[in-house]
A and B are shown apart, each in its own frame.
Chain A
Amino acid sequence: MSHRKQKTSSPEARNRGKKRLRVVAVSATAASLIAAGGIALELPGAHATTSQSSSSSSGSTGTSSGTSGSTGSSGASSSSGASSSSGGGGGTGSAQSSSGLQSPGSAPASSSGGGQVTTGGS
């Protein structure tokens, strides 16, 4: 059996311990918040570009969104319909199909930007 030592820490030691705990707690909270922000911004699709349907760059946009969005089947691309109506053409369309970013639950609000391509997904 173990021999437990009943250590009675002095008030100074307790204060030091409390202070250390507070520092660690604050650091952990700050680190967690920073990490969450950093992860959110670095998640695939977080830097997705938004293109207007009239712009000629929609093809390249589609390509890039396909690359970034290829990480998520669980996520969703907001506007597969938008891509088809955008006339952004094959680039966008192929990106959608390769990414597999379909929202299985609900279609995201895409009414405001019919010509916009959104990549998201996880």
Chain B
Amino acid sequence: MMNIFSPNTLHSTLAMWYTSRATGVVSLVLMSLVVIIGLMVNRQGRLPGMPGFVVLGLHRYLSLLSITFLAVHIATAVLDSFVNISVAASVIPFVSAYEPLWLGLGTVAFDLMIAIIITSLLRAHLGRLTWKAVHWLAYASWPLAVVHSVYSSKDMQRGALLGVALACIAAVLIAMVWRFARALAEIPRARRVPELMADPDLLARAGHR
């Protein structure tokens, strides 16, 4: 049954290819969890029943776990001889010979994640606004990763993995709606429209204070 990992068969050459695909799926799920936690954390940095530092720790840990799986995903894709993906294509978008568009979107998502992580590690040395501006890139990185996942491989276009992709999308959308509903609720109803008309960024700021 597990012949793809058996050294006695030709399928052993496929192990990296399968590892790459599987770790990509897991990385997407973890990334979705990170985005959901990031969206659900309220002003005090808390989730119901969890202290702020636990939520923050969970957010960071899942981010690192996601990046670890992403690193394995990329490394195995590059090392694998099954398709030709160069090292350069793993960091430079749209230069891959294999599925240049869909892989390129994944590369952009990866680069954005790297930027988010580096600025988070250097947060103490950066201004809060700078850090936050870069951190908002997560909202661009995640959909790019989803599109990459779905279109660069047919794995997630059918069957159970399609369900996984749809569940990730639905969960993030629900968290997003919840977040904006909370942000709206924090503005008194009578002042809501005038304030939003006067300052369109109020909603975003209210949600991310």
Whether a CB of chain A sits under 8 angstroms from the CB of B65 is yes
B21 near A40: Cβ-Cβ < 8 Å: yes
Encoded as 1 (CB less than 8 Å from any A CB) or 0, chain B from 126 to 169 comes to 00000000000000000000000000111101111100000000
Give chain B's interface residues, CB within 8 Å of chain A. 1-4, 9-11, 13-14, 17-19, 21-23, 25-26, 29-30, 43-44, 50-51, 53-54, 57-58, 61-62, 65, 69, 81-85, 97-99, 152-155, 157-161, 186, 209
Give chain A's interface residues, CB within 8 Å of chain B. 2, 4-5, 9, 13-14, 17-18, 20-21, 24-25, 28-29, 32, 35-37, 39-50, 71-76, 78-79, 103-106, 108-110, 112-113, 116, 118, 120-122
Complex Cα spacing A39 to B153, Å: 14
A20 near B61: Cβ-Cβ < 8 Å: no
Pick the contact of A120: B17, B53, B209 (CB < 8 A). Answer: B17
| Nearest A residue (CB) for B160 | A42
Known: A25-B61, A72-B153. A116 touches B9 (CB 8 A): yes
Complex Cα spacing A75 to B24, Å: 14
Pick the contact of A74: B50, B81, B153 (CB < 8 A). Answer: B153
Q: Which residues does chain B contribute within 8 Å of A46, judged by CB atoms?
A: 4, 18
B10 near A2: Cβ-Cβ < 8 Å: no
B155 near A72: Cβ-Cβ < 8 Å: yes
The secondary structure that dominates the A interface is: loop
Q: Which residues does chain A contribute within 8 Å of B84, judged by CB atoms?
A: 103-106
Known: A2-B209, A109-B81. A104 touches B3 (CB 8 A): no
B158 near A71: Cβ-Cβ < 8 Å: yes
CB-based closest 3 A-B pairs: A105-B84, A40-B22, A122-B153
Q: Which residues does chain B contribute within 8 Å of A42, judged by CB atoms?
A: 160
Complex Cα spacing A46 to B3, Å: 8
Q: Which residues does chain A contribute within 8 Å of B2, judged by CB atoms?
A: 41
